[in-house]
Amino acid sequence: MRSVQISACQFPIERMASFNDFRTRVGWFLEQVPRDSDYVLFPELFTVGLLTTYPNSERLSSADLTRIDEFTPQYLELFRGVARDRNQFIVAGSHLERHGDRYFNVAHIFTPDGRDIPHKKTHIFPAESQWQTAEGDDLEVCELGPAKVGVATCYEAEIPEVCRILAVGGAEIILCPSFTFSERGFWRVRHCAQARCIENQIYFVHCCTIGHPGAPLPDGFGRSSILSPCDTAWPANGIVAEAETNRAMVVTGKVDIDELYENRKTGAATTFRDRIRREPVYRKYDPYRPQRQDAATASVAGRAAPAHA
């Protein structure tokens, strides 16, 4: 049995005076995380509270959130140290960063041996356009410790092709930092996350940003969870572990990676295998076929699944 333990930190956005306040709040969550968890996940854009450290921040608008890029060096230093000191793989949510003349929503996986594996969100939610955020082009599967993982940040969970590319590339767990501004937004991501588990016979970790910080910051609504295919090896509703709605807390769950492969062979629904088996049928109706030489499509597909040893 290849057992993996995962902890998701349901992080509230709050006003703060300095980066040290942020460091302290991260520390509080880590104190709740078991030392034997293999992966620790923080949510999408959980750094946005840093905007309130600026003088007269109440006069700023949500469009000014790109200013938190100024904290990127401190953010990277903090989580490199955390991953090393705790000997855990830390997905430090995501953070708005400037690369060249563009901003990206970047999720980082920090490893105990000092590596930092970034993922630039490939599909930007329409509301993110206020930050003029650019989209990344790469989807990578990373072999990290006991499992192969991929990152799908929030809205990427609503795009079936993202998780399909990761699953075909070998991902056994999808790690999803998420920040939804309403209950409707939360359920869109949550329902899609469960669908991705069933379609691809994988595990999915949905980690939510929450809170009501007040202008200029957006509210967050969430209930973090660790999800499985809805099949005989797991709870009937597919929920391995689940947080309380909108409460600052850590939810931890354990999953069996080998069970996924057994389920793909003998489960009640063998969707992963059957989708591959019927690919010739799908290709007859492939809406992307006329654009197969399109540079953007070729870029994503061609670099989809390198593995990091």
Q: Is residue 307 part of a domain?
A: no
Q: Is residue 74 part of a domain?
A: yes
In this structure, what CATH number is given to the domain that contains residue 184? 3.60.110.10
pLDDT grade for 291, boundaries at 50, 70 and 90: low
pLDDT grade for 187, boundaries at 50, 70 and 90: very high
Active site residue 154: yes
Who contacts 32 (Cβ-Cβ below 8 Å, separation ≥6)?
9, 249, 250
What single-letter DSSP state applies at residue 307?
A: -
Helix, strand, coil percentages for the chain (3-state, nearest 5): 40, 25, 35
Q: Calculate the dihedral angle through the C-alpha atoms of 101, 106, 109, 114, rounding to the nearest 10 degrees.
A: 20
* Active-site pick, 44, 97, 128, 140: 44
Residue type, 60: L
Q: Is residue 309 part of a domain?
A: no
**What confidence score (pLDDT) does residue 303 get?**
41
Total domain count, the chain? 1
* Active-site pick, 9, 120, 121, 128: 121
Domain membership of residue 87 as a residue range: 3-302
- The pLDDT tens digits for 90-107 are 999 999 999 999 999 999
Q: Is residue 103 part of a domain?
A: yes
Kindly report the average pLDDT of the chain as a whole number: 92
Question: What φ, ψ does residue 224 adopt, rounded to 5°?
Answer: -65, 150
Average pLDDT over residues 57-79: 93
- % of the chain beyond a pLDDT of 70: 94
Q: Is residue 84 part of a domain?
A: yes
Active site residue 148: no
Active site residue 77: no
Q: Is residue 227 part of a domain?
A: yes
pLDDT grade for 298, boundaries at 50, 70 and 90: very low
Q: Is residue 308 part of a domain?
A: no
* Active-site pick, 97, 120, 142, 154: 154
Q: Calculate the dihedral angle through the C-alpha atoms of 56, 57, 59, 65, rounding to the nearest 10 degrees.
A: 150
Task: Give, for 271, the enclosing helix (H) or strand (E).
Answer: helix 271-277
Q: Is residue 63 part of a domain?
A: yes
What single-letter DSSP state applies at residue 131?
A: G
Q: Calculate the dihedral angle through the C-alpha atoms of 225, 229, 233, 239, rounding to the nearest 10 degrees.
A: 20
